Amino acid sequence: MTTTTSKRLITTTTTTKPRHLINISQLTNDEFSNLINKASHLKSIYKSEDNIEQTQKNHQKLLGKLVALLFSKRSTRTRISTEGAASFFGAQPMFLGKDDIQLGVNESILDTTKVISSMTSCIFARVNSHLDIQQLCKYSSVPIINSLCDKYHPLQAIADLLTIREKFGETKNLKLAWIGDANNVINDLSIACLKMGINVSISIPKSIQFDSNVESDAKKLATEQNLKFEIVNDPKLALENANIIVTDTWISMGEENQKQAKLKQFENYQINQNLLSDVNLASNWIFMHCLPRHQEEVADDVFYSDNSVVFEEAENRLYAAMAVIEAFVINKGDLLK
Ligand code: CP
Ligand code: NVA
């Protein structure tokens, strides 16, 4: 936009706000399902041995660009998959750990975000609180991709739904049972499942509160699609006829000081063959876990069983990150493209 005054020429640029990935709830059902299609398509391209050089050239749409990874918490899968995805599209990933930059010590989130977004194509952000993600979205001129905060983990939900679809083909009318904490992973996973026609049964201890916003979004989605969304206490109730069994750590990053109290709250919530032998499961059941895993929430006899798909699920994080870069950065937030 150019405005001329009698004294001087003032030039201001009108920029459109980028679209950010904050959580799965913000996506329409079609947008979410298209992201899964995209992840699946990119996976087949990535794994294909045909014409590798040409395939690489065709996808290097971010050649010469930078992708920032602003991580204030540890990571194995998210770091590798986002760096890998950025490289696939020709961009240079730049890891900015909490001890590498001025943020939080010498510089505000506003100034840091303005500077990083002025030089990069997108920011994968793994931060402590959802408020941090909201601040980043407010100040960034490039897409912010929530790479885990205390409330959401959308990249994990995309990889998980890709894995479920690969295992079952059709997702409609499956049942997912979550046995564990009410945390960032199940918040996005429950919404993602409902968007893809999967019934969700969550078992959490009485003393743990499920996020009320996520619960009301989930209930609305379930009603619209004639699906079941329930929160129960008894793991056996949730597990009845389940096709997909999922758990996660009981002590998320940042909750280390609550470890003893939480271990007590989760007594009898460990997933093991003994528990599973007491319930009717679907014959084709699978076990999933976003990792890292601890013995307390799932025993080896399930974690390393033939029904476990945890390592395929981890690999799918790469294709989820690729799909997100293509949709939010290359296609500028047009998720139906
Ligand atoms: N599942 C997951 O996000 O793993 P990392 O914490 O290792 O990235
Ligand atoms: N709920 C876990 C997920 C780790 C990938 C955490 O926030 O630490």
Q: What are 82-140's pLDDT values in tens digits?
A: 999 999 999 999 999 999 998 888 999 999 999 999 999 999 999 999 999 999 999 99
Q: Give the pLDDT score at 6.
A: 43
Residues 6+ apart with CB under 8 A from 260: none
Whether 8 has a pLDDT exceeding 60, the answer reads no
**Ligand 2 atom nearest to CA at 185:** 1
Instruction: State the catalytic residues.
Output: 290
pLDDT above 70 covers a percentage of the chain that reads: 96
Looking at the fold, whether 280 and 170 belong to one and the same domain comes out as: yes
Looking at the fold, whether 77 and 140 belong to one and the same domain comes out as: yes
> pLDDT tens digit string along 57-90?
889 999 999 999 999 999 999 999 999 999 999 9
Q: Give the pLDDT score at 14.
A: 53
Total domain count, the chain: 2
Looking at the fold, whether 201 and 86 belong to one and the same domain comes out as: no
Q: Whose CA is nearest to atom 3 of ligand 1?
A: 78
Does the residue 260 lie in any domain? Answer: yes
* Domain end point (choices 115, 130, 152): 152
CA of 266 to the centre of ligand 2 (A): 16
Q: Give the pLDDT score at 15.
A: 66
User: How crowded is the C-beta side of 65, counted as CA atoms within 13 Å?
Assistant: 24
Residues enclosing ligand 1, CB less than 6 A?
A: 75-78, 148, 156, 290-292
Whether 5 has a pLDDT exceeding 50, the answer reads no
Whether 29 has a pLDDT exceeding 90, the answer reads yes
Q: Whose CA is nearest to atom 6 of ligand 1?
A: 75
Determine the average pLDDT of the residues in 132-153. Answer: 98
Residue 79: nearest ligand to its CA? 1
Does the residue 203 lie in any domain? Answer: yes
Q: Give the pLDDT score at 127.
A: 93
Looking at the fold, whether 92 and 233 belong to one and the same domain comes out as: no
Looking at the fold, whether 136 and 170 belong to one and the same domain comes out as: no
> pLDDT tens digit string along 36-56?
999 999 999 999 878 888 888
Distance (Å) of CA 1 to CA 12, 18, 209: 6, 18, 49
Looking at the fold, whether 171 and 266 belong to one and the same domain comes out as: yes
pLDDT above 90 covers a percentage of the chain that reads: 91
Residue 283: helix, strand or coil by DSSP?
coil
Does the residue 15 lie in any domain? Answer: no
* Domain end point (choices 107, 124, 152): 152
Q: Whose CA is nearest to atom 6 of ligand 2?
A: 252
Looking at the fold, whether 147 and 168 belong to one and the same domain comes out as: no
Query: What's the domain range around 287?
Result: 155-314
Probe ligand 2: pick from 156, 184, 313, max atoms within 8 Å of CB? Answer: 184
Determine the average pLDDT of the residues in 137-146. Answer: 98
Secondary element (H or E) of residue 303: helix 300-303
Whether 4 has a pLDDT exceeding 70, the answer reads no
* Domain end point (choices 152, 175, 207): 152
CA of 273 to the centre of ligand 2 (A): 24
User: CA 164, 168, 173 angle in degrees (round to 5)?
Assistant: 85
> pLDDT tens digit string along 236-273?
999 999 999 999 999 999 999 999 999 999 999 999 99
**Ligand 2 atom nearest to CA at 148:** 7
The answer to whether 90 and 63 have CB atoms below 8 angstroms apart is: yes
CATH classification at residue 112: 3.40.50.1370
Looking at the fold, whether 169 and 120 belong to one and the same domain comes out as: no
Whether 9 has a pLDDT exceeding 70, the answer reads no
